[in-house]
Amino acid sequence: MPIRGNQEQAGEAFATPTIVHFGAALLLSAILNAPWQRVGSAAVLWGLLGLSGLVYEIIVARRMRRQIVYTPEFEDWLFHVLLPLAAYAALAGSAYATLAHAHEAMFGVAAAALLLLFVGIHNAWDAITYHVFVNRGGRMNERPR
C-alpha cells in the first residue's frame, strides 16, 4: 500500500474523530439552546446524536486497528475510543432517563458535552505535538517547508 494511503488511514483514525467530537459538542449546544416547548423533543435529538456517536466510535476503533502508520498506546485508546464512547453512551442514556428524570438527565448531557470538548482539546494538542516532535524529527530550529 502506498505511503499516502497509509497517512490517509491514520488521519481517518486520529484526526477526523477529533473534528467529529468538536462538531458533536457544538451540535449538542445548539440542540440545548433551541427554544423547545418540551425537553422530550430535544432529548430525542441528543439521543440520536449519542447513538450515532456510539456507532461512529466502533468505526474509529476499527480504523485505529487497521492503520499501520502509528501503533496506538493506551492513552490513544483512552482518548480516541473509550472516553468518547462513554460520552456518547451518556448522551443516549440521558435521553432515555429524560422520560422519568428530566432535570437529572441534563447533568448527563452536560457531562457528555464537557467530556467531548476535553477529548477534542486533548486529541488536537496530541496531534500537534506528534507532528512537531515526530514528523519534523525534532528539528525545532528549521523553518517549515
Average pLDDT, the chain: 88
The secondary structure element, H or E, covering residue 6 is helix 3-10
Is the model's pLDDT at 134 over the cut of 80? no
Residue 118 resides in a domain: yes
Residue 145 resides in a domain: no
Total domains in the chain come to 1
Question: By residue range, what is the domain housing residue 131?
Answer: 3-135
Residue 141 resides in a domain: no
- In this prediction the pTM is 0.84
Is the model's pLDDT at 132 over the cut of 50? yes
- Mean pLDDT on 57-62: 94
Is the model's pLDDT at 27 over the cut of 80? yes
Residue 24 resides in a domain: yes
Long-range CB pairs of 81-85 (<8 Å, 24+ gap) are 81/57, 83/115, 83/119, 84/17, 84/21, 84/53, 84/57, 84/60, 84/115, 84/116, 84/119, 85/53, 85/54, 85/57
pLDDT digits over 68-115, tens only? Answer: 888 899 999 999 999 999 999 999 999 999 999 999 999 999 999 999
